[in-house]
Chain A
Amino acid sequence: MIFGWLRITCRQAHILLSERLDRGLQPLEIVRLRLHLLVCDVCSRVARQFRFISDAVRRIGT
């Protein structure tokens, strides 16, 4: 596959999904993650779940 070097696994994508909430991702990481999310609805769901959790925790005590 020509763009094989851009491919990442779900395991790697999960890590980037968490880290993008804590640090700015590198351009290459952003491209890899976006391409992965385009084809992987499992990781897209996890992306929404991580944001869901963040927003929920911020509401504690409000």
Chain B
Amino acid sequence: MDSGALRQAVAELRPMLLKIARLQLRNDSWAEDAVSETLVSALESADRFSGQSQLKTWVVGILKHKIIDQFRRSGREVSIDAAAEAAQVETFDELFADDGHRLERPRDWGDPEATYSRVQFFEVLQICIEELPAALARVFMMREWLELETAQICKEARVSSTNCFVMLHRARMRLRECLEQRWFTGETL
């Protein structure tokens, strides 16, 4: 790929990168900054792109680093949101009987690979992540998308490890519920 074509191909990734950055950072101007830095960095180091991996995978890898940098720069605001969210208590009482046992059977989601092959599933997944409170979404995406260790996430968000685990649990419970209502509606009980 010559440099003009590479430049063009990288620029075309911008909308996709911005969407992911917004999902993770939950702040439009932070997302814009992280994506701009990603594009600059990708073009500067274009000679190191071997063509071995997909261009998209390579650029998304750069984006992950820029997002972590952005979290560090915005640490104060991130920690304020996280502290407020950590103070929320969510017990999911509608799911459990008084003795702690589950009232209803969740649906069988079937074969994951079959679902992962559907583009629309990922659109629904992203909607469900967008519906999470910002601080829950950030912590959850740090864990599952950036694949950071929990200790590092607690440090970035400046919350205790207990609060961190509770927030991740709440995020998963909400996503489970959201996907079941929006995607797996026709699955067997």
Contact = CB atoms under 8 A, between A and B. Distances in A.
Interface of A: 9-12, 14-15, 18-19, 21-23, 40-43, 45-46, 48-50, 52-62
A22 B168 contact: yes
Contact of A62 (B57, B109, B165): B57
Given A53-B172, A54-B144, A62-B60, A10 B105 contact: no
Contact of B106 (A18, A46, A57): A46
A46 B150 contact: no
Contacts of B173: 14, 18
Contact of B105 (A9, A42, A54): A42
Given A11-B101, A50-B172, 17 more contacts: A9-B101, A12-B100, A14-B169, A15-B169, A18-B165, A21-B168, A22-B143, A40-B102, A45-B107, A45-B108, A49-B109, A56-B115, A56-B116, A61-B20, A62-B56, A62-B57, A62-B60
Nearest to A15: B169
A5 to B, nearest CB: 15
A23 B100 contact: no
Nearest to B21: A61
Contacts of A12: 100
Interface in B90-106: 92, 96, 99-102, 105-106
B150 A43 contact: no
B112 interface: yes
B109 A58 contact: no
B179 interface: yes
Interface of B: 16, 20, 23, 56-57, 60, 63, 92, 96, 99-102, 105-109, 112, 115-116, 121-122, 125-126, 129, 140-141, 143-145, 147, 150, 161, 164-165, 168-169, 172-173, 175-176, 179
7 contacts: A21-B168, A22-B150, A23-B165, A49-B179, A52-B112, A56-B125, A60-B145
B123 to A, nearest CB: 11
Given A14-B173, A18-B165, A62-B60, A48 B96 contact: no
Contacts of A62: 56-57, 60
Contacts of B122: 56, 59-60
Contacts of A59: 116, 122
B102 A42 contact: yes
